[in-house]
Homo-oligomer: A and B are copies of this chain.
Amino acid sequence: MAKSENILFGDRLDAAAREKKSVAVVGLDPTMALLPPDLAKKAKSSGDGLVEAFAEFAVGIIGSVGDLVPAVKPNIAFYEAHGLSGLAIYKPLCLAAANHGLLVIGDVKRGDIGSTAEAYAHGLLDGQYTDFNTLELDMNPSEMRMRIGSLLGPHDALTLNAYLGSDSVLPFIERGAPRGQGFFMLVKTSNPSSAELQDLKLEGGGTVAEHVAGMVRSWGAGHIGGSGLSAVGAVVGATHPTELARYRELMPEAPFLVPGYGAQGGSADDVVSAFREDGSGAIVNASRSILGAWKEENNPSDWRGAARRAVEAMNADLRGALERAGRWGF
């Protein structure tokens, strides 16, 4: 986490988007299938070769696209998938991103209650900030641990699951919001089965997801910055474009994190209604289409360049759609 000097997260996100003139966020979700051949070879070379290749890949992507976007979003599942070895590269990557001037959104989707929520919040929101450039990724693990601390945090923002209600999110918000950290609550996700529960109609009108949207608005009410954006935001998928406008209406102050663009099928025109009238208030995530851009270009030796060109194209695509809708504000 870059030092926030007690600026609320909504304002930090807005400032970062204006500075970069971008509303894109890159998902740092490395998998074997996304590794270019030279790194795939390294991944197979030794026991920890895979996570070392992941680290080199992610640091390369951060270096290549870091000046083009306001934020990155590592999904911790892709690190936890490789256990302690995978988690050991997670924090250094977050630090690398922070040192490149990026906000780091930990896509952790945690949700538990009371003292358990406190425990998660401590591990993910607290922690030690260190200059990544003083680290080497092949450094002895215990030496690195001493330099960066053991905690997985701090993050600039987290995704959270609110199925358990206020008990499961307030410990995060109360701890993090005053010091500039933000929260994206799962409201309406972009996966095919999201309708099974989220779209159920309620007796009193509206859907389950719309009810969660109301909860998000109330949780965020005390944490709205000068930009008009709150520290409490929402995940609202791009694959349901007709609904985005309705969610924007229900949560006028919430920053939206919009997954589903690119590989998952959402277009730039689909996501326009996630933004506020002035063009602020939403960031759009892409992961596979950026990390795997070298495949699309059939250009494995220049995977860094391919990722950069893919982000430039995504920025232009989103800007174009927002301009057509009269919502480009930067």
Contact = CB atoms under 8 A, between A and B. Distances in A.
A200 interface: yes
A150 interface: yes
Nearest to A215: B196
Chain A residues touching B, range = 35 or more
Nearest to A27: B116
A80 B142 CA distance: 18
A119 B77 contact: yes
Interface string A98-126: 00000000000111111111011011100
Contacts of A81: 119-120, 122-123
A204 B201 CA distance: 8
Nearest to A163: B163
Contact of A120 (B77, B91, B161, B215): B77
A135 interface: no
A6 interface: no
Given A164-B193, A166-B193, A197-B215, A82 B123 contact: yes
Contacts of A215: 196-197
Contacts of A114: 191
Main secondary structure of the interface of A (DSSP, over half): helix
Nearest to A211: B200
Nearest to A186: B163
Interface in A19-53: 29, 31
A143 to B, nearest CB: 12
A80 B119 contact: yes
A196 B141 contact: no
B150 A78 contact: no
A267 interface: no
A106 to B, nearest CB: 12
Given A142-B141, A163-B186, A151 B83 contact: yes
B113 A191 contact: yes
Contacts of A191: 113-114, 164-165, 167-168
B115 A112 contact: no
Given A84-B145, A149-B83, A163 B197 contact: yes
Nearest to A187: B163
A88 interface: yes
Contacts of A31: 115, 119
Interface in A186-213: 186, 189-198, 200-204, 208, 211-212
Interface of A: 29, 31, 75, 77-78, 80-88, 91, 109-117, 119-120, 122-124, 127, 141-142, 145, 149-152, 161-168, 186, 189-198, 200-204, 208, 211-212, 215
